[in-house]
Structure 1
Amino acid sequence: MGMQVNTNLAANNSYRNLAATQNDMSKSLEKLSSGLRINRAADDAAGLAISEGLKSQVGGLTVASRNAQDGISVLQTAEGSLGEVQSILQRVRDLAVQAGNDSNNADSRTAIKTEVDALGKELTRIAGSTNFNGTKLLDGSATSLKFQVGANGDLNSQIDVNLSGANVTAIANALTGGSISAAGTSFAIADITALTTGAATFTSTSGGVTTTVVTAALADTADGSAASFQSVEEYASALRSDASFSANFSVSVSKDANGAGNGIVVTALDGGSVGVTSPDGAVGLAAGSASAALTGGVRFDTAANAQASITLIDSQIKSVSTARAELGANQNRFESVVKTLAISKENLTAAGSRIRDTDMAEEMVKFTRSNILTQAGTAMLAQANQSNQGVLQLLR
């Protein structure tokens, strides 16, 4: 091998190896200082794409868990108020049972109605004041609420909570005779003997939907006469005894100035307008007007009306119980969601860590190796630079 001055191959080789070693050491320092194995896409393009997707999921699950916990708070707020609503309804029912006793005079029944009216106002206040972050929960304005409990944009990431059964405004109106329940529909009975013991058909129209109820053959059990009815009270009693009718309607007797029954007042428990198709006016039952001089809602002026009120109140208690049960079931569901999200977040975080985080021990081994090679490369570059000094001996 000749002796050249312009080109020092040994030095060039040493420099190239030293530059590569210093580049490796720089990357090791970057990973050790950041704690990340992937600091830029060039470190691991595929790993970066996967880890960013996992990072989005983990972030979404974190927020979704908070959403689910907010959902629990919303349901607890609504269910707590419904618990008090049910207590009020139980008190109203006790008063209705008390009013059903004819030991009460008119003043006693008026006093009972006064307390019921006050409790009805409290129901209205509860309906208007129960809210979460400004969203009213029990006044009927929010029939359902959606909660984002997943990290994605599909239907499985949302839970829809039904609040239609938790309409305390409707309950208050049903008790006090407000716009939803109205006063009921009065039916004049021109000829009571024309009302046979056959089936009767009533309809209730609420929200544009008509519900038709057909009773069984009505039996006159008041005086043992099965052929026909002898009084309006007997006919009303037969209607109350029918399961299909009592599940959808309440009935009371309207009286003339002399106190004699001259018709019935039918109120739909769903607050709809009432119609009758059989028997019709040809056999003595004629539809009247809902604007008759009736107080509507629960009424305690007679024992029969108090009994009809008990049926109405029972239906409202059942509605509240159903609504509370649904809210409780959804609350348990949200608690399960929170636990599931915590497990998913933990597993996805571990998966992302395995892809993106640095193994500090392994990287320290690489750094130490690069550091030693850098020192050795620097020494060898110095030696290579001195290797051509022998040419000076030839020039003397």
Structure 2
Amino acid sequence: MRLMQNMSSQRIYRQYQKSLVNQSKALKNISSGEKFTKAGEAPNEIAKSERMRLQIRGLQMAQRNVQDGISMMQTADSALDSMTNTIQRVRELLVQAGNGSNSPEDKETILNEVKQMIAGYDDIAKNSEFNGVPLFEPQNGINSVKMQLGANAYENTEIKFYNLRAGNLNLDEIVGFVEKDEFGKALVKSDSVIENLSNVRSEYGALDNMFENCFEGLGEFELVTQAAESAIRDTDIAEEMMELTKNNILVDSGNAMMVQSNKLPQEILRILENVKSR
């Protein structure tokens, strides 16, 4: 037994300090929900986690981009449907105009409706836009845009814009053919326009399908990446609660043991007193 250095008490105190540190760490992890909050605690894990978080945010933004692409294609498809129906009505009128029993008045009435339908078609083509971007009247020489589809560089696709205005498609030729009773040429022209519209609509439909598949894929990839990042950084609350409980017991027992170990010098004094009294 030593009087000057209470080694037992010092050892107990050292273990007590460790238990306090572990107790504090467990409390911090539980309250923050993260295993570590400073780079110094786990440099490699922090670096991995930050890279994954960067990827997750990129994936989330890419999903918003793809949603915009889907909305743009659906807007274009709706407009193209109306434009196609308009030209189909023009074609019906052309077939009707080819009836040899029509009076000049009948022919004039049909011609006026054809003109109105072409004007209506042009209004749709002129006014169809998405978020201020004209869909069928490219401006400033811009005939396509890039749509970012992923979180990384060059993960994009091209959306082409086509000038489908009546003037660009020379729809006035239909009126001229009707005025000259060249109904066959008018029908050929209307069929050509309908085919052109169908081709553009088919291309945009394929893009719409690709965007929807891409959106689902991005969502799945985001979930997988979030799960991986969570495994690195997030606290297992059940495990931390067990660690906290363990360290609470160790702190309490450390306190009790220090009280007992601090009595050792007093025991030495009593022994010395007994020796002196003899």
Under TM normalisation by the shorter chain, which class is it?
A: 0.7 to 0.9
Letter in 1 for 2:241: M
The alpha-carbon distance between structure 1 residues 140 and 98, as it changes in their structure 2 partners (threshold 3 A), is farther
Letter in 1 for 2:77: E
Q: For 1:19 and 1:71, how far apart are their aligned partners in 2?
A: 59
Q: For 1:140 and 1:124, how far apart are their aligned partners in 2?
A: 14
Matched residue of 1:150: which SS? coil
Give how far 1:333 is off.
0.9
Q: For 1:171 and 1:385, how far apart are their aligned partners in 2?
A: 101
Q: 2:232 aligned with 1:350, yes or no?
A: no
| Structure 2 counterpart of 1:301 | 179
Matched residue of 2:159: which SS? strand
The answer as to whether partners of 2:83 and 2:125 remain within 8 angstroms in 1 is no
Q: For 1:128 and 1:105, how far apart are their aligned partners in 2?
A: 35
Letter in 2 for 1:149: L
The alpha-carbon distance between structure 1 residues 345 and 323, as it changes in their structure 2 partners (threshold 3 A), is same
The answer as to whether partners of 2:118 and 2:166 remain within 8 angstroms in 1 is no
The answer as to whether partners of 1:100 and 1:302 remain within 8 angstroms in 2 is no
Report the TM-score when normalising by structure 1. 0.63
Q: 2:210 aligned with 1:330, yes or no?
A: no
Q: Where do residues 284-295 of structure 1 align in structure 2 (5 Å cutoff)?
A: none
Give how far 1:302 is off.
2.9
The answer as to whether partners of 1:123 and 1:172 remain within 8 angstroms in 2 is no
C-alpha distance after superposition, 1:281-305 (max 9, x if no partner): xxxxxxxxxxxxxxx86421233x2
Q: For 1:125 and 1:322, how far apart are their aligned partners in 2?
A: 20
| Structure 1 counterpart of 2:129 | 131
Give how far 1:98 is off.
2.9
The answer as to whether partners of 1:79 and 1:327 remain within 8 angstroms in 2 is yes
| Structure 2 counterpart of 1:242 | none
Matched residue of 2:137: which SS? coil
Give how far 1:138 is off.
1.9
Give how far 1:328 is off.
0.9
Q: 2:164 aligned with 1:168, yes or no?
A: yes
Give how far 1:2 is off.
4.3
The alpha-carbon distance between structure 1 residues 36 and 390, as it changes in their structure 2 partners (threshold 3 A), is same
Q: For 2:2 and 2:38, how far apart are their aligned partners in 1?
A: 46
- Structure number with higher helix proportion: 2
The answer as to whether partners of 2:98 and 2:183 remain within 8 angstroms in 1 is yes
Larger RCO: 1 or 2 (CA < 8 Å, sep 6+): 2
341, 347, 351: which one aligns with 2:218? 341
Q: For 2:48 and 2:197, how far apart are their aligned partners in 1?
A: 49
Matched residue of 1:168: which SS? coil
Report the TM-score when normalising by structure 2. 0.88
Q: 2:275 aligned with 1:359, yes or no?
A: no
Q: For 1:14 and 1:25, how far apart are their aligned partners in 2?
A: 16
The answer as to whether partners of 1:147 and 1:159 remain within 8 angstroms in 2 is yes
In percent, how many aligned pairs have the same letter?
A: 35
The answer as to whether partners of 1:113 and 1:299 remain within 8 angstroms in 2 is no
Name stretches of at least 5 consecutive residues in structure 1 with no aligned partner.
Answer: 178-295
The answer as to whether partners of 2:115 and 2:175 remain within 8 angstroms in 1 is no
The answer as to whether partners of 1:14 and 1:380 remain within 8 angstroms in 2 is yes
| Structure 2 counterpart of 1:119 | 117
Matched residue of 1:311: which SS? helix
Matched residue of 1:145: which SS? strand
